[in-house]
């Protein structure tokens, strides 16, 4: 009884929870009746567990214990479902070792007999006990050093020289030290030169008056635990009041350095294991000086060159090339600064890179990258928005020191801006052969530079840019002050979806021999005119310009003519027709008495000819179907004049030689 009372004092819960007891089936040991039932449950208090020891088992045996059964649960999980007979030896070997709860958990028993019991069975009996758990034997108790178990719980404590953290599990060395006012001394890891202890967090504080700084020198061995990849496991951190924080580990002895601060905190941290030796460093104070540069991207201008400058020393601060003073709106790049007692320069004005800004772009152009950096030495590039345009010059520029975008050749963007010029001489359809006089129909996009003027006199023109077209002078003679409409992007003269272009200017070559309106000219020399449209032509797959010829091109072999002109008798073609013609020397062509000049080309073929209504249209090379990006279609001639009998093989047609007018075309377009 005395022993029991002592237990009660140590275990406050004994008054409400029996420490031991028996649990048995109804009627034991005489035997249980059919339809017998028993439910039992006991829970252990905190820091304890409950165990059950079966000393007898005799329950009707059936498959999977379907008739009568004894179920034992621990913390609501089924441990065993039992039936049949087992000896005490069998129970001790295979059942009893597993009949226990978790710490603070519960055991429960459920006994159930069915309606029949052909043979009398005595049932079961077991002894339960509530036992204290020794938490100190549990590797997960998280005590980093020592553990003390007591009934219902455990407590961590530390070896001498350590203190227990607020988490009540971790021990750490009490090694922090305030050396405020100390001008020199030595700091060492705990236990130096022996290995330092685990779970250390040592903080050493150094502080002196303004105008001084600490000089740190590591001595002897430096050995702070580090992973193979260079990551610190343990660490030594030097943290000045201002300036860079440095962290060290490994075995390489850190070099001497100045803290540039009158206040320094040195923090040494270790983990829970290791056998490294730590560190030893000495410190002393010295006067605070200033070092350069005063601000990034600048240099010092001084009568003397020092690695450090004394208090009160004045220097000129000059921004590096391509940088200007941030707070000054002008292009100033220089100011005066003085070394202060705290080792800082004053004033400090940042030098920021020159910013060239985003340049103004034409409606056809855009930046290759969205929101690119635009400061000194940064690069930008341009591209055309549409695939029907290409840059006429380099699209790459660099921001220079003066704040201008500069090309690789040194040209300023404002002076040498790239332009998006239409891609010329390309089509979307490929075909071969055909004739214009009674000839073959063109496909949509096959001759996309062909334009049509339906009013009297009916005529054609060739688009040579997104604003300009070229035609024969006699087609527009007398209409210089009028507004004419031209159709493009079609192969059917009646197409209601044609692109309509309105003229802004009609410029006839100044040496063309003008005639009285309503009559035919008797001299077709300089039969060429330029048409400027009032708005930009919307280029696309079915309407795009033809290239002008090169001055060095040799005009020979086959070319192609196209137009909506007369096909037989007085009937004009509704469809765009084309066909190949051969170029001949002028002395092999019959002009019917009309004057022929070097400004003309003579061309024709078998039953292939331009005719009335084709005037102003193109003669282009190479033959349709053989153009490529490397060999675009070029306008070599303009349908000008010929014999009345279109398609007569005895006579050829005459075309204005575009090659002779390249300078006039260029100058006229630039001036207008």
Is pLDDT of 121 > 90?
yes
Residue 471 and residue 610 in one domain? yes
Residue 85 and residue 194 in one domain? no
Average pLDDT over residues 198-213: 90
Within a domain: 554: yes
Q: 189 among the known binding-site residues? A: no
List 56, 100, 323, 474, catalytic entry: 474
Q: 477 among the known binding-site residues? A: no
Residues contacting residue 506 through CB under 8 Å, at least 6 positions apart: 476, 479, 480, 482, 484, 529, 530, 531, 532
Q: 234 among the known binding-site residues? A: yes
Residue 629 and residue 576 in one domain? yes
List 58, 466, 525, 527, catalytic entry: 527
Within a domain: 431: no
Please give the pLDDT value at position 421.
93
CATH code for position 385: 2.10.70.10
Residue 162 and residue 78 in one domain? no
User: Before 293, cis peptide (omega within 30)?
Assistant: yes
Within a domain: 360: no
Q: Output phi, psi for 303, to 5 deg.
A: -65, -30
Boundary residue ending a domain (390, 422, 454): 422
Residue 408: give the domain boundaries: 365-422
Is pLDDT of 9 > 90?
no
Most confident of 403-417, 456-470, 507-521: 456-470
Residue 509 and residue 606 in one domain? yes
Residue 181 and residue 121 in one domain? no
Residue 485 and residue 614 in one domain? yes
Q: 630 among the known binding-site residues? A: no
Tell me what the pLDDT averaged over the chain comes to: 88
pLDDT band of residue 3 (cuts 50, 70, 90) is very low
Q: 320 among the known binding-site residues? A: no
Q: 421 among the known binding-site residues? A: no
Within a domain: 212: yes
Please give the pLDDT value at position 447.
96
Q: Which of 444, 414, 418, 422 is nearest to 431 (CA)?
A: 444
Within a domain: 555: yes
Cα separation of the two ends of the chain: 124
Is pLDDT of 460 > 90?
yes
Please give the pLDDT value at position 506.
96
Within a domain: 515: yes
Within a domain: 447: yes
Within a domain: 427: no
Q: Copy the structure tokens of residue 316.
A: 């000129």
Element of type H or E holding 604: strand 600-604
State the Cα–Cα distance between residues 639 and 653, nearest whole angstrom.
8
Residues contacting residue 398 through CB under 8 Å, at least 6 positions apart: 377, 378, 379, 405, 406, 408
Q: Are 358 and 374 in contact (CB under 8 A)?
A: yes
Q: 90 among the known binding-site residues? A: no
pLDDT band of residue 437 (cuts 50, 70, 90) is very low
State the Cα–Cα distance between residues 624 and 51, nearest whole angstrom.
101
Please give the pLDDT value at position 171.
81
State the Cα–Cα distance between residues 184 and 148, nearest whole angstrom.
44
Is pLDDT of 567 > 60?
yes
The number of folded domains in the chain is: 6
Residue 663 and residue 564 in one domain? yes
Q: 68 among the known binding-site residues? A: yes
Residue 125 and residue 141 in one domain? no
Boundary residue ending a domain (75, 110, 133): 133
Cβ atoms within 10 A of the Cβ of 310, count?
A: 11
Q: 133 among the known binding-site residues? A: yes
State the Cα–Cα distance between residues 325 and 353, nearest whole angstrom.
9
Percent of the chain with pLDDT over 90: 61
Q: 261 among the known binding-site residues? A: no
Residue 80 and residue 144 in one domain? no
CATH code for position 488: 2.40.10.10
pLDDT band of residue 303 (cuts 50, 70, 90) is confident
Q: What is the pLDDT of residues 388-404, one digit of tens each?
A: 999 988 789 999 999 99
E strands within 153-242? 153-157, 162-164, 171-173, 177-180, 184-188, 201-207, 212-218, 235-240
Is pLDDT of 649 > 80?
no
Could you tell me if residue 326 is left (phi over 0), alpha (psi between -120 and 50 degrees) or otherwise beta? alpha
Q: Copy the structure tokens of residue 127.
A: 């002894």
Q: What is the pLDDT of residues 591-637, one digit of tens each?
A: 777 889 999 999 987 666 667 778 999 999 999 999 999 999 999 99
pTM above 0.85, yes or no: no
State the Cα–Cα distance between residues 353 and 333, nearest whole angstrom.
11
Cβ atoms within 10 A of the Cβ of 309, count?
A: 22
Residue 638 and residue 502 in one domain? yes
Residue 628 and residue 649 in one domain? yes
Q: 135 among the known binding-site residues? A: yes
Q: 210 among the known binding-site residues? A: no
Active site residue 474: yes
List 25, 462, 465, 615, catalytic entry: 615
Q: 149 among the known binding-site residues? A: yes
Boundary residue ending a domain (268, 287, 306): 287
């Amino acid at each position: 009884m005395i022993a029991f009372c002592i237990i009660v004092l140590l275990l406050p819960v004994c008054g409400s929870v029996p420490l031991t007891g028996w649990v048995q089936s109804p009627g034991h040991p005489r035997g249980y009746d059919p339809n017998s039932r028993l439910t039992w449950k006991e829970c252990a208090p905190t820091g304890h567990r409950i165990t059950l020891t079966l000393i007898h088992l005799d329950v009707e045996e059936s498959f999977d214990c379907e008739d009568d059964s004894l179920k034992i649960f621990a913390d609501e999980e089924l441990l065993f479902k039992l039936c049949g007979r087992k000896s005490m030896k069998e129970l001790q070997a295979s059942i009893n070792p597993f009949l226990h709860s978790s710490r603070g958990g519960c055991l429960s028993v459920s006994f159930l007999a069915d309606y029949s019991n052909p043979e009398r069975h005595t049932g079961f009996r077991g002894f339960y006990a509530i036992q204290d758990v020794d938490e100190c034997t549990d590797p997960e108790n998280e005590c980093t050093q020592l553990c003390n178990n007591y009934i219902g719980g455990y407590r961590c404590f530390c070896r001498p020289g350590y203190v227990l953290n607020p988490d009540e599990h971790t021990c750490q060395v009490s090694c922090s030290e305030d050396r405020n006012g100390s001008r020199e001394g030595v700091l060492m890891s705990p236990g130096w030169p022996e290995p330092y202890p685990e779970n250390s967090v040592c903080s050493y504080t150094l502080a002196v008056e303004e105008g001084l700084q600490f000089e740190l020198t590591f001595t002897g061995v430096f050995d702070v635990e580090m992973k193979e990849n260079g990551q610190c496991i343990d660490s030594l951190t030097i943290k000045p009041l201002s300036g860079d924080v440095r962290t060290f580990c490994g075995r390489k002895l850190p070099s001497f350095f100045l803290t540039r601060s009158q206040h320094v905190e040195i923090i040494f941290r270790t983990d829970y294991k290791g056998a490294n030796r730590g560190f030893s460093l000495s410190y002393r104070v010295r006067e605070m000086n200033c070092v350069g540069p005063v601000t990034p991207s600048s240099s010092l201008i001084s009568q003397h060159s020092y690695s450090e400058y004394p208090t009160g020393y004045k220097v000129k601060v000059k921004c590096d090339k391509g940088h200007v003073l941030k707070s000054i709106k002008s292009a100033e790049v220089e100011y005066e600064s003085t070394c202060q007692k705290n080792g800082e320069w004053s004033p400090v004005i940042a030098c920021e890179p020159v910013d060239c800004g985003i340049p103004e772009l034409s409606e056809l152009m855009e930046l290759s990258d969205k929101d690119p950096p635009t400061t000194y030495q940064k690069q930008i590039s341009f591209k055309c928005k549409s695939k029907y345009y290409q840059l006429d010059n380099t699209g790459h520029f660099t921001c220079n020191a003066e704040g201008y975008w500069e090309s690789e050749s040194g040209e300023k963007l404002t002076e040498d801006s790239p332009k998006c010029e239409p891609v010329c001489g390309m089509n979307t359809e490929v075909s071969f052969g055909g004739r214009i006089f009674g000839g073959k129909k063109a496909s949509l996009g096959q001759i996309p530079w062909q334009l049509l003027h339906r009013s009297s006199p009916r005529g054609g023109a060739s688009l040579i840019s997104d604003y300009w077209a070229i035609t024969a002078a006699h087609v527009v003679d007398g209409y210089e002050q009028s507004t004419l409409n031209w159709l493009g992007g079609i192969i059917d003269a009646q197409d209601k979806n044609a692109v309509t272009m309105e003229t802004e200017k009609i410029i006839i070559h100044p040496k063309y021999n003008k005639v009285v309106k309503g009559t035919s000219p008797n001299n077709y020399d300089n039969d060429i005119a330029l048409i400027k449209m009032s708005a930009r032509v919307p280029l696309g797959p079915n309407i795009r310009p033809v290239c002008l010829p090169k001055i060095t091109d040799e005009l020979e072999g086959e070319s192609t003519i196209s137009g909506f002109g007369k096909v037989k008798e007085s009937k004009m073609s509704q469809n765009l027709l084309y066909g190949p013609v051969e170029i001949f020397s002028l002395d092999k062509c019959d002009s019917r008495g009309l004057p022929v000049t070097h400004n003309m080309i003579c061309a024709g073929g078998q039953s292939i000819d331009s005719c009335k209504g084709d005037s102003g249209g193109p003669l282009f090379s190479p033959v349709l179907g053989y153009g490529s990006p490397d060999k675009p279609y070029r306008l070599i001639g303009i349908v000008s004049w010929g014999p009345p009998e279109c398609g007569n093989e005895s006579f050829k047609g005459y075309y204005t030689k575009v090659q002779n007018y390249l300078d006039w075309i260029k100058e006229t377009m630039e001036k207008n």
